Structures are given as structure tokens and as C-alpha cells.
Amino acid sequence: MGMTVVFRTILLVLLIICAIAVNLTRNLLQAVIIFMSYSSIMCILWILMESPDLAITEAAVGAGVSGILFLMTLKKIRAEDAGETPEPRNGQEEKDL
């Protein structure tokens, strides 16, 4: 068995572990980090399958943009749970009705 087959098998096992772990974890921050790890592993697998265009897309969208959006959403959720009011954007002031 070649080294490439062993490496692919290890990556596939890690991919399955990440997929299960992201569903079982209760901490949202850990779930986001595991999801980003899943996307990174998938990116490496796309490279090994000789699909560089899919690998670049997976890295940019899966681990990059989606991860950042999830982290920003998590920050807003935690701010609302703590009772803090989010800061107004673009110089707009909140008006009491």
C-alpha cells in the first residue's frame, strides 16, 4: 500500500470524525472551529483528487467566508445574550419610540 493511500485514508477518517463532532458538540464556538477544520480537510482532499478549482473554492468559501460569517453571528448572539446592545452602524443613532 502506497503512502498516498494511507494519507488519503487518514484524511477521510478525520473528515468523518469532524462531520460527527460538529453535530455532537454543544459549544457553538467549537462547532464553528470543527466546521472550518472540515472544510480545510476537504480542501486537501480536492487537491489530492486533482481538482484545484474545487480546492480553491472550498478554501475560500468553506473555511474562509462561511467561517467568518459564523464567527460574526456567534459574536452577535453572545452580545445579545449578555444584554449588550449592538453599536449602531454608519453613524446612525438609535431612537427611542
pLDDT digits (tens, 9 = 90+) for 43-57: 999 999 999 999 999
Statement: residue 81 has pLDDT above 70:
yes
Predicted local confidence at residue 26, as pLDDT: 93
Tell me the pLDDT tens digit for each residue of 10-24. Answer: 999 999 999 999 999
Sequence-ordered list of residues with C-beta below 8 angstroms from that of 39, at least 6 positions apart, any chain: 58, 59, 62, 63, 66, 67
Tell me if 46 sits within 8 A of 54, measured CB to CB.
yes
Q: Give Cα separations from 89 to 68, 73, 86, 92, 94 (angstroms).
A: 19, 16, 9, 6, 10
In 3D, which of 72, 71, 89 has the Cα closest to residue 35?
71
Tell whether the model's pLDDT for residue 95 goes beyond 60. no
Tell me what pLDDT residue 39 has: 93
